Structure 1
């Protein structure tokens, strides 16, 4: 059996305010292409299908079309809810969806009941452990004193092992795959994962998953191997500049009669690269060494001695996908007196520079409001002068 492991789609997520639905739709199409090319039987998605618990209608449309493309390519889908998903909403139509080959595991009551599929070697049991919040699920899992994710996952795995033991006793050819959304010890986080707890109580040991042929993990956004049979696929797109060095991928898993046979990394296409550039505004706008960043999402660090006015608009003339801007005075540069910093600048330039310095570049609406305020202030000043002259 061929299984494609992907996770953390985060459909509906934005990147520094930029809508990513088109990028997400494209990469889901690439996943469907991989299913077709490699003859994949099952696609597993261990959580964070959506980025928000209440996704937009456009996000739902992109997700549904992605599922449809994967099914049309020939694969059954098994998916669980993650900490970004609403388990109730995602699983609302689970019974109906299962009839069409989309199996959604979102409830505690489903943990010990696998999705049963088969190949030429016999049955394969697909178990799912959705994201489980200890405070909410410990009573239903019969561990009322549990307070950590490790405790909760241990209780969930007890259900899995109990069911798997019964099935292998009845049919020794049974193999097993587990989907889980968790932060496993040894995994490396990036900037874009939302913490699933506070402090160290969120982590679980890799040994919690012993006894399963393959464990498909979700939550961390870079492909990682914790053991030969326990892996993160990572997200299909980068969701922070800290992920700019990641090459996104899905994992092609093969099972034979004995269990796990092979794991192959399938690199996903780079829809749009990420780039961090540093220099003065003039350098960034003119130097050829930054040419490779022109079609990337760009984060710029400006080193001008005085923060340039309207820098983002100027940057976007060369880098149309510039989304983040910071200003850092070069080391050793002494602070300028305020009168020197604003000398020769108009009131509007000073106002825009102030907003940019304390927050980010003002929007067109904010620029209009500032212009109206400055105009009103000028009129008030003129009226004051006229009154003083006639007094």
Structure 2
């Protein structure tokens, strides 16, 4: 049996305000071509199908069309919610969709009830673990009375979930097994675009929690990576932050033979619109021929002008229409590494106010008359402060 492991679709996500639905549909619909070309039996999606709990109508339309294409290509689909999804909303119509070969595994109480697929060697049990919020899941998993707060960690609830999975497998001798899980597993390397499940390290789950199954399809981390041969993150199908610029996106093709995992190989995904970070002065970025290749990319511009340029985003977008992010690292932006307080130390209120005027007027200093107005305003403010 051949599985296609993917995750973290985040349908409906934007990049610094730029909508990505067109790019998402292009890449995800293209998975149907992979299904046909590689004779894939099932596509597994390990969480964060949508980017938010209440997706837009356009986002649900994209998912509907993508799932239809995958089924038309001949693959069953198994998907689970992540920490971004609403499990209840994602599972709407799950019973009806299962009849068409799209299986949504979103109920904590039923996580040990697998989707059973069959090939020439027999059965493959695919367990979909929905994202387990410890405070909510611990009661459903029988951990409510555990002392010391240990039940309130991702390790605790995922251990309990996997215990149930292993118990069910024990009743299915000879059945091969696959688990989908959305978690931060020890050894994984995060990217800028993941939003933390929680803080303080209680989200970290040891890899040993998932012992006892043939393959674990992980989601949550957006960088594709291999923790062990049978424990892998597919990563997101698109880059969702400029920290991922140049990162190669992929899926895993997972083969199971008669006894278990036979092999895994990566398959690169296309990049509809690459992400590029450009650094230089505004004039350099809008004029340098070396940047011609980035003109249709999503662009993050880091300006190094000594003085903040006027209306830089409009000027950049005349050349780079998909420039969506801008930051200024020039002299006035604290590029010397000193803190704001250190830069102000020993300077008068009039000097600070004068520099502010120069800054907002793109280098034009205050005139003598304007400085006199500043002196009066600062004096009035001082008197008012003393009168309080």
Could you tell me the TM-score, scaled by structure 1's length?
Answer: 0.85
Map residues 7-86 of structure 1 onto 2, 5 A cutoff: 7-86=7-86
| Structure 1 residue aligned with 2:262 | 261
SS of the residue corresponding to residue 162 of structure 2 reads helix
CA deviation after TM superposition for structure 1 residue 259, in Å: 0.7
User: Does the residue aligned with 1:200 lie in a helix, a strand or coil?
Assistant: coil
Contact 2:307 2:362 survives alignment (8 Å): no
Question: Deviations for 1:252-290, whole angstroms, at most 9, x for unmatched residues?
Answer: 001001211111101000111111111110000111221
Deviation per CA, 1:182-223: give whole Å up to 9, x if none: 100000111111111121000100111111000000000011
1:234 counterpart SS class: coil
SS at match of 1:180: strand
RMSD: 1.9
Task: Give the Å deviation of 1:47.
Answer: 0.4
2:153 is matched with: 148
Question: Which position in structure 1 is the counterpart of 2:162?
Answer: 157
Whole-Å separation in 1 of the counterparts to 2:197 and 2:56: 23
Asked whether the equivalents of residues 355 and 365 of structure 2 are also in contact (C-alpha less than 8 Å), the reply is no
> In the alignment, which residue of structure 2 is the partner of 1:378?
none
Return the offset for 1:248: 0.4
What residue is the counterpart of 1:208 in the other structure?
A: 209
**Unaligned 5+ runs, structure 1:** 348-391
Cα distance in 2 for partners of 1:332, 1:130 equals 47
CA shift in 2, pair 1:113/1:281, >3 Å: same
Deviation at 1:245, TM superposition (A): 2.6
Once residues 264 and 363 of structure 2 are traced to their aligned partners in structure 1, the CA distance between those partners, rounded to angstroms, is: 64
Secondary structure in 2 aligned to 1:201?
A: coil
Distance between the aligned counterparts of 2:279 and 2:304, measured in 1? Answer: 7
| Residue 246 of structure 1, CA deviation | 1.3
Q: Deviations over 1:133-160 (max 9, x none)?
A: 0111111100113110000000000000
Q: What's the secondary structure of 2:139's corresponding residue?
A: coil
Q: How many Å separate the matches in 1 of 2:189 and 2:229?
A: 17
Name the CA distance, whole Å, in 2 between partners of 1:312 and 1:74.
46
Q: How does 1:60-139 map to 2 (within 5 A)?
A: 60-139=60-139
**Mapping 1:299-310, distance limit 5 Å:** 299-310=300-311
How many angstroms does 1:295 deviate by? 1.2
C-alpha distance 111-343 of structure 1, shift in aligned 2 (>3 A): closer
CA apart distance, 1:337: 3.5
User: Per-residue deviation at 1:345?
Assistant: 6.3
Distance 1:152 1:225 in 2: 23
C-alpha contact (below 8 Å) 2:276/2:297 kept by paired residues: yes
Mean Cα displacement is larger for which, 19-28 or 285-294?
Answer: 285-294
**TM-fit CA distance, 1:29:** 1.4
Q: 1:275 is matched with which residue?
A: 276
2:277 aligned counterpart, secondary structure: strand
> TM-score when scaled to structure 2?
0.85
Find the aligned partners of 1:143 and 1:164 in 2 and give their Cα distance: 21
Moved over 4 A (4+): 330-336, 338-341, 343-347
Count matched residues.
343
Aligned counterparts of 2:232 and 2:195: Cα–Cα separation in 1: 19
How far residue 344 of structure 1 moved from its aligned partner, in angstroms, is: 8.0
How far the C-alpha of 1:343 sits from its partner, in A, is 7.2
Describe the shift of the 1:311–1:211 C-alpha distance in structure 2 as closer, same or farther (beyond 3 A).
same
Give a deviation string over 1:164-194, Cα, whole Å, max 9, x none.
01101xxx2x100100011000001111111
1: CA distance, partners of 2:205 / 2:363: 60
Offset from partner CA, 1:31-58 (integer Å, 9 cap, x none): 1110111010000001000000000011
Counterpart for residue 295 of structure 2: 294
Question: Is the 2:251–2:269 contact (alpha carbons within 8 Å) kept by the matching residues of 1?
Answer: yes
Partner Cα separation in structure 2 for residue 219 and residue 289 of structure 1: 36
2:305 touches 2:328 (CA, 8 Å); kept in 1?
A: yes
